[in-house]
Amino acid sequence: MFQPSAPPASLGADLRALRRSRGITLQTLAARLGRSVGWISQVERDLSHPSIDDLRAFAGAFDVPLSIFFGQCATRAGEDGRVVRAGARRRIGAEGAALVEELLSPDLTDEFEMVHSTFQPGASLPAPQQRPTTEVGYIVSGRLDMTIGGQDFTLDPGDSFRIKGEPFRWANPYDRPAVAIWVIAPPVY
């Protein structure tokens, strides 16, 4: 079960970025959460601090895992918003999942996000997924099968791919993990 740590210093900016990337107005989000526009605005400006239940509601409204709001370690002086150390990445998704993703971007406020993805042996995306994004991935190690726009590909280390708002699936039917660096614009987590 997910055990939350402290939310990142960029929580308000991350929430604003998620809301804007989905084209959701403050009014619409307030209605979904049963909260006032003023309160949401204060949360986005780090003037008010949401409870864990509020963060669960935000996660549901944005269709992201609750873990995206936690897990970032403290940064060294001068590194906040600029550097993400290997041991300080925010984990995306459930612990022990077949796909382990870590946010390489310092926060969600850029035009894109970078994700370190590890696909465990035997893992697969059960149904095609389609997002209003442009995504580019680079295979660091292992082997990964991808279906992009109905066409099948087997990718090896050093190979890269692009998905432009079309249906895609992935699978790792091989006996070792596949690791990819994934760039997504606009951010979806």
CATH number at residue 162: 2.60.120.10
| Inside any domain, residue 128 | yes
Please report, for the domain that includes residue 49, its CATH number: 1.10.260.40
d(CA 33, CA 44): 14
- Evaluate whether 115 touches 92 at the Cβ level (below 8 Å): yes
> Residue length, the chain?
189
Residue 37 in domain = yes
Q: Evaluate whether residue 52 is within a structural domain.
A: yes
Residue 1 in domain = no
Cβ proximity of 103 and 189 under 8 Å: yes
On whether both 117 and 173 belong to a single domain, the answer is yes
Residue 2 in any domain: the answer is: no
Quick one: 178 and 117 in the same domain?
yes
Q: Is residue 74 part of a domain?
A: no
pLDDT at res. 7:
55
Q: Which domain holds residue 121?
A: 111-185
Judge if 129 and 180 occupy the same domain. yes
Q: Output the CA torsion sign for 32, 36, 41, 44.
A: negative
Number of structural domains in the chain:
2
And the tokens for 83?
């550097």
In a domain, 90, yes or no: no
What confidence score (pLDDT) does residue 5 get? Answer: 46
The answer on 172 and 122 residing in a single domain is yes
Per-residue pLDDT tens listing for the chain (189 residues): 333 444 556 788 778 877 876 778 899 999 999 999 999 999 988 888 888 888 889 888 887 777 677 655 566 667 766 787 887 777 776 555 788 888 888 877 788 889 999 999 999 998 999 988 999 999 999 999 999 999 999 999 999 999 999 999 999 999 999 999 999 998 877
Determine the pLDDT at residue 86: 81
As a whole number of angstroms, the distance between CA 60 and CA 50 comes to 14
Give pTM, 2 decimals.
Answer: 0.68
Q: Tell me whether residue 135 is in a domain.
A: yes
